[in-house]
A = this chain, B = another copy of it.
Amino acid sequence: MSIHSFYPPQRTLLGPGPSDINPRVLLAMARPTIGHLDPLFSQMMEEVKQLLQQTFKTKNALTLPISGPGSVGMECCFVNLIESGDKVIVCQNGVFGGRMKENVLRCGGTLVTIEDTWGTAIDVNKVEAALKQNPDTKIVAFVHAETSTGVQSDAQAIATLAQKQGAMTIVDAVTSLAGTAIEVDQWGLDAVYSGSQKCLSCVPGLSPVTFSERAQQTIKTRKTTIQSWFLDMNLIMGYWGAQTKRAYHHTAPINSLYALHEALVILQEEGLENSWQRHQKNHLALRAGLEKLNLQLIVKESDRLPQLNAISIPADIDEAIVRKRLLDEFQLEIGAGLGPLAGKIWRIGLMGHASNQRNVLYCLNSLEAILTNMGVILEAGQAAQAAMQFYVNK
């Protein structure tokens, strides 16, 4: 049996990522491959580093994309900074905090866990108490924007507490970067990783990371060898760090880096702060429409991520059928809940290129049509107009 070329449909991606990708990014990726040691490629790498520094709001020299998805960026931060026996406080309020714990254990670290209910922000008071109880803490690790729940936590407050005690921070910014404010230098974050496929609207498969001067020194002066050859920043610096005479480490994913470069150029054209504001505005418009559908956000207003809306599922409906119908009848993808929130929430992402007026309206109209058809909503026709009020000039 022979297998033929694969032609994917044109979906609208309003799940937790990947998000819709700007056609400019897709076309950039299809440009001719050049060598990973080509001088022109080296120049492009320098530009990617600069653009990432702007996006992370940092001057950190060690700012670059890791050649793997966001979970590799996470692992990169942990394996480089943790040595066997190091004490690490992990704040968990969703799936990705749990993954951080896995990473600490696999690095031989001593784990201290702070737990908060899924759907709420990290309780800063608990972090303070845990630090007081564990004065030998080397690292505080937490998720800035929990993709599994749509919650953002106060990264600046947590970092300030850690600094006061001389501890470093590892911060998951996979869903926050470019969608909501994150200020690496001003907040004093030490190791931050993100993903290419959320608010950057690049293809999945790359993980931008940035390390503070202190984190870099820690990596350089480790007593033990880093357990991963591939993620050993001391080796990666030889390739990404030098502007000339780059030392071969691994073959960079050339075409994916073209895509990231283009996505970052597009972000620069828009302006980072404008991107944050766009995400906020479209979030408010979506929320106004959802209210007309009697759909409630599970996260309290002050902790909501504009780019990821977690919604309570109305009683007595099969949530998987709604998602399947949205995909089949409208080519529209939204996300399911994970872990304890499985079956209880939908996750509607408005990330990067996908955060736009057309998608807000398409999502509201499609949901309204399905829910009306299923008898969940009796009076249709209100949601889109509620959202439109955010777009007309007043």
Contacts and interface: CB of A to CB of B under 8 A. Distances in A.
Nearest to A328: B39
A69, A195, A338, most chain B CB atoms within 10 A = A69
A13, A15, A17, A106, most chain B CB atoms within 10 A = A106
Interface in A360-383: none
Nearest to A195: B251
A248 B338 contact: yes
Contact of A18 (B31, B36, B51, B225): B36
Interface in A309-356: 327, 333, 338
Majority secondary structure, A binding face: loop
Interface stretch (A4-12, A131-139, A186-194, A280-288): A4-12
Interface in A27-44: 27-36, 38-41, 44
A15 B35 contact: yes
Contacts of A116: none
A229 interface: yes
Interface residues of A, number: 80
A6 B34 CA distance: 12
Interface of A: 2-11, 13, 15, 17-18, 20-21, 24, 26-36, 38-41, 44, 47, 50-51, 67-72, 75, 99, 102-103, 105-107, 195, 197, 203-205, 225-230, 248-256, 258-259, 261-262, 264-265, 268-269, 327, 333, 338
